[in-house]
């Protein structure tokens, strides 16, 4: 019988997005229904498998994105689809990479659900691309999200700070304005998809805050001070307002934690 970390590694080893999505659905159901019962300790690869397309570039080498019209929509949706594909892997990676932390079963369940949410997001964005005559892989994409994962592979607290509590929280900050702009430009299809992603991201940020606090306290650390020290060390670019305080409050993200970092 396979363990959940075995399942995570199988998803990470799947290069094609459709197979990554299929396996995520399969293994999440197996975990939910009790066919997989143990987390296990199988170590994940340093990097997940990736399809031949899109071409992955450093963020600084990405071509300037076009704005307006179908071309602009395709560029935006493609970039978001790439983020969501990476996010599937991040959900599984955190389960297997930090299995040695001996966390409650609910920790694994939360990140299995995150990975399943990201599958729904990716496939929804794929359908939007298809409606515009495009497909995932048609445009280059940057590798910044997985680079952030590599830089936080040594410590679960650092991973939680950088990925859900910073990168996903930033999505909560910026998505409402993006939806408004698209709607004003007459786009009736993309904003509803972004709204689904936005509300799921709030739950993902909440999971990050909850488990960061749990692990910090388990280690006898002050959560706020530990968050801020990890931000200084692991995210030197710093935080830039404006913040979506309402969404962050819904995720139980204490305002003074991040606002103080923005003022530094």
d(CA 51, CA 17): 7
State the pLDDT at residue 228: 97
- Does the pLDDT of residue 195 top 80, yes or no? yes
d(CA 264, CA 260): 7
- Comparing 12-21, 24-33, 114-123, 134-143, the range with the smallest average pLDDT is 134-143
Sign of the dihedral through C-alpha 181, 202, 23, 6 = positive
State the pLDDT at residue 263: 62
Write the DSSP symbol of residue 39: -
- Does the pLDDT of residue 67 top 70, yes or no? no
User: Mean of the per-residue pLDDT values for the chain?
Assistant: 94
Write the DSSP symbol of residue 54: S
- Tell me the whole-structure pTM to 2 decimals: 0.95
d(CA 213, CA 220): 10
Q: CB 64: neighbour CB atoms within 10 A?
A: 6
d(CA 76, CA 79): 5
d(CA 168, CA 83): 10
Cross-strand pairs, 256:
none
- 148-175: per-residue pLDDT in tens? 899 999 999 999 999 999 999 999 999 9
- Does the pLDDT of residue 264 top 80, yes or no? no
Q: What is the mean pLDDT of residues 209-216?
A: 98
């Amino acid at each position: 019988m396979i363990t959940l970390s075995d399942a995570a590694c199988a998803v990470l080893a799947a290069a094609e997005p459709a197979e990554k999505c299929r396996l995520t659905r399969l293994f999440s159901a197996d975990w939910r229904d009790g066919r997989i019962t143990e987390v296990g300790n199988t170590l994940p690869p340093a990097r997940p498998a990736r399809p031949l397309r899109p071409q992955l570039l450093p963020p600084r080498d990405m071509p300037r994105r076009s704005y307006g019209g179908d071309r602009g929509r395709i560029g935006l949706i493609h970039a978001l689809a790439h983020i969501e594909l990476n996010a599937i892997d991040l959900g599984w990676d955190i389960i297997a990479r930090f299995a040695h932390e001996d966390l409650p079963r609910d920790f694994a369940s939360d990140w299995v659900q995150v990975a399943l949410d990201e599958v729904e997001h990716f496939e929804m964005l794929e359908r939007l691309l298809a409606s515009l005559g495009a497909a995932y892989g048609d445009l280059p994409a940057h590798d910044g999200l997985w680079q952030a994962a590599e830089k936080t592979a040594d410590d679960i607290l650092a991973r939680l700070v950088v990925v859900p509590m910073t990168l996903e929280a930033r999505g909560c900050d910026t998505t409402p304005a993006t939806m408004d702009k698209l709607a004003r430009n007459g786009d009736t299809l993309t904003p509803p998809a972004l709204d689904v992603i936005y509300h799921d991201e709030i739950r993902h940020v909440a999971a990050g805050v909850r488990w960061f606090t749990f692990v910090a306290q388990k280690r006898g650390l002050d959560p706020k001070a530990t968050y801020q020290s990890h931000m200084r060390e692991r995210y030197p670019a710093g935080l830039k307002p404006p913040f979506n305080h309402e969404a962050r409050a819904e995720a139980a993200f204490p305002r003074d934690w991040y606002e103080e970092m923005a003022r530094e």
